[in-house]
Amino acid sequence: MKIKKTMMNKSILLILLFGHQFASGQQTYVFTKGLFVNGVHHYGREALYIDTVAWQLYNQVLQKPEAGKTAKQDSITNRIRWTSVTADSAGVFKSRRFGAGGYLYLTYTATRQQNVLLNIKGNSAVYFNGVLHAGDPYGAGWLYIPVTLKKGLNELYVRTYFQTSAAIIFPEKPVMISTTDSTMPHVVLKKQNGVLQGAVVIINSGLQDLKNYQLKSIVSGKTLLTNIPVIPAMSSRKVIFNFDAGGISSTGKYDCGITLQNKNKSVDEKQFILEAVDSSAKYSTTFISQVDGSLQYYSVTPQLNGTKDNAALFLSVHGAGVEAIGQAKAYQSKDWGTLVAATNRRPRGFNWEDWGRLDALEVLNLAKEKFKPDPQRIYLTGHSMGGHGTWFLGAAYPGNWAAIAPCSGYPTLKDYGSADGKIPDSSKDVFEQMLLRAGNQSDVISLANNYKPFGVYVLHGDSDKVVSVNYARQMKKLLAAFHPDFNYYEYPDGEHWFGDQSVDWKPLFDFFKWHTRLADTAVNQIDFTTSSPGISSTYRWASILQQQHPLQYSNLKLVRDRNQHRITGTTKNIHMLQFRLKDFGANTTVTISLDNSDTISYSTVSANDSIILQLKQNKWVAGAAPSLNEKGPQRYGTFKEAFNHHMVFVYGTAGDNKENEWSLNKARYDAETWYYRGNGAVDVIADKEYSLTKYKDRGIVLYGNSNTNSAWKGLLNDCPIQVERNKITAGDKVWSGGDLGAYFVWPVKSSFITSVAVISGTGLKGMQAASANQYFAGASGFPDFMIYDIDMLQSGAHGVKMAGFFNNEWKLDSEEFKLQQ
């Protein structure tokens, strides 16, 4: 039945403020008094970070804050002190200093031990009684973290992010459904109105894992039952459920009731709204992501007068804070194509890099399959952060597009993101340079030659105060030096958003309409640059399979003469490449000459032949395809690559109590952060539950060392980096002590596509030094491995012992890493 209008329940201000929608009698404690200190930490889009409070906490020298007490002393005369702060009438702590590396200290005295929910907005992280938990930097309000109040004093160190509010919620029951962050599709009449999939959050503040639970959905009298995965104790997880919309036959809003049950017994119930639209309306559709098995969505602006095969397809990537459905609604339907808007996994997500990039590619592939567009008429556009996404995705995948159109965007985070701690290119520190190298894929300025094959339309308001028009002018100047086919327009007096025409600009779509992507058979010249074959390896009929030096820029310039049956060209930083010879036909002798090397002749047997070329002793020779156990497009590193292929977090249980506690807490923290930043869901399991067979071809994130995590031996026994209690070995290098930490990646030998990411330490201090999860920051640079000690939290790069990349055979190579001198 359609939903009936009802009077809004006039709940107390606290419930409105913190947005929770649990039982009406829920008790909430709002923090209004605290202490604040700024200038004590520095986090950014990088592997390095500095945090004086964390360093003091881990070294057990953190003194209880008091007003006027010194938190950090930079010099004899410069002391940074704690000051008293009070929340405003809405319960919000406000200070211009909150964004300047600050901590807010809060306390709560409990009369007894009990499990509660922590809800903080406007923070990047929080230590609750010394345990690190995820933050809500964008103030979304739907992050409810189960924590245990101990009897007596409970301490919170909140890493602030501009405006901050904090509350403790006392749940009336330990297991609940939260619908404030649901992922739901539209019901589209006559198109998308059968069995559909949605996702809601299950909060488990109990001490037992939730196993064998189900979600029952009821929509217009139709009931479906869905088994849900395990929800570990003291955690939450976003879970997928099925619902049957077959009973909906008209547009409007409908109740969807869901019941969480165990052994047919109801545990919690919720209702929320479904929206049914007709087939001409903008709508959202859900899909299961191959990244982590979670439910994601994309939105569609349908083609005017119905979808037609071989029409155009427009991929639109949104700005920060914008939902994909809002992006789709900004466009009017076009009579010559369909527009799809990906999500970047969240409204802010990953800047369209890393997992945002994967989301865009997943949506593009799903849209191609669903709408069957003309492959020569696929276009890319986006606004603000999506403007950056357009520059980045356009440069990374130049073979995909007929034309691109960045709107009000910045080209690279190296400049625009400098306030977030990005390492400057001018850095002379060898370790900082290594981290810059790990993030080379983000520097679209260095990839600009990849724009040459397609048209580029640049649109920017000339009065933009959010993303300066100078970024557009920078790209105009860059393109003017080499690009034969770009258009540039500054909208007079246009601010960052000057109405829907900020994206739905007729001259932009006219420009698209004039452009088609050339077929591969018509492309005889290639000028292609990549920083990593693991991100982008192929342009048309040529692929870069391996580099000489991982993550340095590789360039391939080729000329193909089909009449002369010849390929000539030059290469830079390429060890192995592949040419597809389909367009030469069968029974043809093809000659290849690269870098003035000896000419290679190859006689094709069929029209599907390819040739592999390898650089040996500075000469190109015909070779065999590299083993899939070596580095290649299917698996190339870096550390962050393992967070893919439906990854699983494996915490250690073989250590002592404190080591095991760190491992579980760190896995929970990463799962919380992955959910918040990436709308994600991940299996968190103990080492004794893991097996290569059960989790075949799934990425692995392992917490602990060879003594504390029993899964280590089966996954990492042949790795040249070994971490045990009080010692790290990397080849012939050895470091001793209990305060050493490490991040590194290693291929799973029973798979050709997956890797294990290791977050490790030689003792509790070393493990704690590895606690930050900056790898979830979009475009942050992490090499294959990085070894450091706890003093990195005080001295940054000076605390790093070793960092770099494995070679193509996954071996340590002195040319590819740096050591502390």
Cα angle for residues 730, 736, 741 (degrees, 5° grid): 70
CA distances from 171 to 23, 118, 206 (A): 8, 11, 11
pLDDT bracket for residue 73 (50, 70, 90): confident
Query: What's residue 78's pLDDT?
Result: 73
Residue 6 has pLDDT above 50, yes or no: no
- pLDDT of residue 175 exceeding 70: yes
Decide: helix, strand or coil at residue 442: helix
Contact 39, 80 (CB under 8 A): yes
Do residues 781 and 437 lie in contact, with contact meaning Cβ atoms separated by under 8 Å? yes
Widest Cα–Cα separation across the chain:
87
Residue at token pair 């990436």: 678
CA distances from 497 to 464, 469, 494, 661, 736 (A): 8, 13, 7, 48, 55
Percent of the chain beyond pLDDT 90? 87
**How many C-beta atoms surround the C-beta of residue 89 within 10 A?**
7
Output the pLDDT for position 3.
Answer: 38
pLDDT band at 162 (very low <50, low <70, confident <90, very high): confident
> Quick check: helix, strand or coil at residue 445?
helix
pLDDT tier for residue 21 given thresholds of 50, 70 and 90:
low
Confidence category of residue 422, pLDDT binned at 50, 70, 90: low
Q: Is 400 helix (H, G, I), strand (E, B) or coil?
A: helix
User: Nearest CA to 159 among 651, 764, 673?
Assistant: 673
Q: How many CB atoms lie within 10 A of CB 67?
A: 11
Q: Indicate if the pLDDT at residue 592 is higher than 70.
A: yes
Q: Are 137 and 144 in contact (CB under 8 A)?
A: no
* pLDDT tens digits for range 603-662: 999 888 999 999 999 999 999 999 999 999 999 999 999 999 999 999 999 999 999 999
pLDDT, mean of residues 119-145: 96
Tokens of 453: 């094959």
Q: Whole-angstrom Cα distance, residue 748 to residue 711?
A: 12
CA-CA distance, 380 to 388, in Å (whole number)?
12
Residue 46 scores a pLDDT above 90: no
Say whether pLDDT at 43 is over 60.
yes
Please give the Cα distance from 662 to 668 (Å, whole number): 10
- For the chain, how many residues are written? 821
Q: How many CB atoms lie within 10 A of CB 209?
A: 13
What's residue 22's pLDDT? 54
| φ/ψ (deg, to 5) at 99 | -85, 10
Say yes or no to pLDDT of 76 above 80. no
293-314 pLDDT per residue, tens: 999 999 999 999 999 989 999 9
Predicted pLDDT of residue 77: 57
Q: What is the DSSP string of 182-234?
A: EE-PPEETTTB-SEEEEEEEEEE-SSS-B-SEEEEEEETTEEEEEE---B-TT
Residue 414: predicted pLDDT: 76
Residue 791 token pair: 């003093």
Q: What is the predicted pLDDT for the residue at 113?
A: 97
For 766-789, what is the mean pLDDT? 94
**pLDDT of 678-734, one tens digit each?**
999 999 999 999 999 999 999 999 999 999 999 999 999 999 999 999 999 999 999
**27-30 vs 152-170, strand pairing mode:** antiparallel
**What mean pLDDT comes out for the span 251-255?**
96
Q: What is the pLDDT of residue 98?
A: 73
Whether residue 23 has pLDDT greater than 80: no
Does the pLDDT at position 357 exceed 70? yes
What's the pTM value of the predicted model, to 2 decimals? Answer: 0.95
Q: How far apart are CA 371 and CA 47, in angstroms?
A: 40
Q: What does pLDDT average to over the chain?
A: 93
Question: At residue 33, does pLDDT exceed 50?
Answer: yes
Q: Which residue has the higher pLDDT, 24 or 102?
A: 102
At 725-766, the pLDDT tens digits run: 999 999 999 999 999 999 999 999 999 999 999 999 999 999
Residue 182 clears pLDDT 50, i.e. is over it: yes
25 pLDDT band (50/70/90 cuts)?
A: low
Annotate 147-168 with DSSP letters as a single string: EEEPSEEEEEEEEEEEEEEEEE
Mean pLDDT, rounded, for 161-166:
90
Say how far apart CA 168 and CA 26 lie, in whole Å: 11
135 has a pLDDT exceeding 80 = yes
The string of pLDDT tens digits covering residues 472-516 is 999 999 999 999 999 999 999 999 999 999 999 999 999 999 999
Q: Are 761 and 770 a contacting pair, CB within 8 Å? A: yes
| Separation between Cα atoms, residue 530 and residue 323, nearest integer Å | 30
CA 200/CA 228 separation, integer angstroms: 11
What pairs with residue 111 in β-bridges?
none
Burial code (b: 16+ CB inside 10 Å, e: under 16) for 250-282 equals eeeebebebbbbeeeeebbebebebbbbeeebb
Query: Residue 116: what residue type?
Result: V
* Owner of token pair 């209880």: 64
Confidence check: pLDDT of 128 > 50: yes
Position of tokens 């400057």? 424
Contacts of residue 301, defined as CB under 8 A and 6 or more positions apart, other chains included, come to: 282, 328, 329, 331, 332, 333, 334, 338, 339, 340, 341
